[in-house]
Amino acid sequence: MYVYEFYIEHPMNYVMTGKFEAPSPNWVHEDFPLTDYELFVVTKDTLYISYNGEPFTINEGEFLLLPPLPPPNNRRKGIRPSHCSFYWLHFSIDHEVALSAIPNSRHTAYPYTVPQYTIAIPRQGKIPHAEKIVVLMKQLQDAIRSNYDSTTANYLSTTILCELYSQFYRENNVSQRSKRTQKQMYYDIIDYVKSNTDKNLKVADVAAHFCYNEKYLSHLFSNIAGIPLKQFILNVKMDAANFMLTDTNASISEIAASLGFTDSHNFAKAYKKIAGLTPTEYRNAFFKRLLYHV
């Protein structure tokens, strides 16, 4: 993926803008030289164009950003007929623009590496909310028709590029942010369960603590941990029970109470289901093993 880096502490220089609608299905983009940057935002059908010998296919809801190149490499022309519609914006800049080739595996993290007052815009991509870009393009066109000063046109042009930058990277990072958020929630659940082994903790209690739907939280945890949240809560309690059975002189009743069980019978039943032994059998077997190895 090729990405342009624009420095925007000062606005872009507006050149011209408009909307084009192909008059027929046989329309083909004419062969014209490009002397400044041009942004295409396709709103209907598909635009087929080549630039500097490279073909581009821009579908509805996608954009293409072309840079000025020295002649004769700056000619853009249609390569297939299309009954398309698109908004276009020409602008220039007063600084050099970096063009970087970013691996697809890194493009979502790339914006966080660019300098301050810099936006990174791919050469081509899908616009998550194209209608917002169209609204800004219409506002720019209205400003031009109303004879607004050049400063306004410059800032409106820059706003369009900033919106494109924000949309592209914000939306493409949603899944990554979601995964990070879910992972953090998973670790928060683990910490909460481990710090509340003395309570008769249920899945509903955990969900209520984090203000989440019980089914959603259970599904989230199970997807990451590979076991149900209810099972994890019980496993944590059993790990704590193993420690107290082998490293303390607490009675079975005291251990059961400290782990939030209503009585020692329920504790012993739950423990045997996990360990295959009663708490007393486990404690005795442990000390016999110690004695054997002394």
Whether residue 256 sits in one domain with residue 124: no
Q: In the structure encoding, which two tokens stand for residue 234, read together?
A: 């019980």
Domain boundary among 172, 188, 218: 172
The C-alpha atoms of residue 186 and residue 280 are separated, in whole angstroms, by 33
Domain boundary among 155, 172, 189: 172
Q: How many domains does the chain have?
A: 2
pLDDT of residue 294: 39
Return the SS3 of 93.
coil
The C-alpha atoms of residue 250 and residue 247 are separated, in whole angstroms, by 9
The C-alpha atoms of residue 202 and residue 238 are separated, in whole angstroms, by 15
Whether residue 210 sits in one domain with residue 163: no
Whether residue 132 sits in one domain with residue 212: no
Its domain, for residue 165, covers 2-172
Whether residue 139 sits in one domain with residue 19: yes
Whether residue 137 sits in one domain with residue 15: yes
pLDDT tens-digit readout, 160-187: 999 998 887 765 554 555 555 778 888 8
Whether residue 166 sits in one domain with residue 31: yes
CATH number, domain at 166? 2.60.120.10
Whether residue 187 sits in one domain with residue 51: no
Whether residue 148 sits in one domain with residue 248: no
Whether residue 148 sits in one domain with residue 32: yes
Whether residue 82 sits in one domain with residue 194: no
pLDDT over 90, % of the chain:
62
Domain boundary among 172, 201, 236: 172
Whether residue 191 sits in one domain with residue 137: no
DSSP letter string, 125-186 = EE-TTHHHHHHHHHHHHHHHHTT--HHHHHHHHHHHHHHHHHHHHHHHTHHHHHHHHHHHHH
pLDDT of residue 249: 87
pLDDT tens-digit readout, 95-136: 888 777 765 545 555 555 667 788 889 999 999 889 999 999
pLDDT tens-digit readout, 148-157: 999 999 999 9
Q: In the structure encoding, which two tokens stand for residue 248, read together?
A: 């303390």
CATH number, domain at 266? 1.10.10.60
Whether residue 193 sits in one domain with residue 137: no
- Below-70 pLDDT ranges, the chain: 102-114, 170-180, 286-294
pLDDT of residue 112: 52
